């Protein structure tokens, strides 16, 4: 019986970290303007966007180094081959403090991080910049120093700090 009571507690303790994933689109949900907007935001043709969403393939490949908190060190790529080549080119695990990359699939492009002298934590991930901007607008009164990182370019593309 105690295990059942822990599930709501664990769900509550999940905190602010969240992720947005597009769901398959049915014919009743099809809105050509919304599809076009989301496809453009991702740099895809609408037909490619629909194909990817309905086949649950809106993913990127990340060359990920768990030893570093800096999002510019773990970029994402459109293809697995690009990520593998980057990881091979930049792996330096034989040196102390060197990079040790693995390639993994991720379903997001943007990270919202709280970055200051005390913390560098991921609070939210999303596929679209607009979703990350909405997160910042919603939680800017609760968190200071929020930055949106584009993992594809490595650039900061939004912030709630003046």
Per-residue model confidence as pLDDT tens digits over 18-34: 334 455 556 566 677 88
Provide the pLDDT confidence category of residue 122 given band limits of 50, 70 and 90. very high
| Helix, strand, coil percent content, the chain, rounded in steps of 5 | 35, 25, 45
Indicate whether 6 belongs to any domain.
no
Indicate whether 9 belongs to any domain.
no
Same-domain pairing of 98 and 114: no
Indicate whether 47 belongs to any domain.
yes
Same-domain pairing of 73 and 117: no
Please give the Cα distance from 56 to 50 (Å, whole number).
Answer: 10
Indicate whether 81 belongs to any domain.
yes
Same-domain pairing of 124 and 160: yes
Beta carbons of 124 and 17 less than 8 angstroms apart: yes
Indicate whether 15 belongs to any domain.
no
Same-domain pairing of 51 and 64: no
Dihedral sign (CA 132, 18, 86, 45): negative
Q: How many domains does the chain have?
A: 3
Same-domain pairing of 118 and 156: yes
Same-domain pairing of 53 and 63: no
For helices 32-42 and 46-54, the axis angle rounded to 10 degrees is: 90
Same-domain pairing of 72 and 83: yes
- Taking the whole predicted model, whether its pTM rises above 0.85 is answered as no
Structural domain range at position 161 = 109-162
Provide the pLDDT confidence category of residue 79 given band limits of 50, 70 and 90. confident
Indicate whether 16 belongs to any domain.
no
């Amino acid at each position: 019986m105690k295990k059942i009571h822990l599930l709501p507690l664990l769900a509550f303790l999940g905190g602010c970290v969240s992720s947005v994933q597009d769901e398959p689109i049915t014919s009743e949900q099809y809105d050509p303007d919304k599809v076009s907007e989301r496809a453009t935001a991702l740099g895809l043709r609408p037909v490619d966007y629909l194909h990817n969403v309905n086949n649950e393939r809106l993913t990127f490949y990340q060359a990920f180094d768990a030893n570093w908190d800096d999002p510019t060190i773990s970029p994402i790529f459109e293809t697995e081959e690009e990520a593998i080549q980057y990881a091979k080119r930049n792996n330096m695990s034989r040196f102390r403090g060197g990079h040790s990359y693995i390639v993994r699939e991720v379903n997001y492009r943007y990270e919202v991080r709280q970055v200051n002298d005390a913390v560098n934590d991921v609070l939210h991930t999303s596929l679209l910049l607009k979703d990350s901007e909405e997160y910042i607008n919603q939680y800017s009164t609760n968190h200071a120093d929020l930055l949106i990182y584009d993992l594809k370019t490595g650039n900061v593309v939004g912030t709630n700090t003046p």
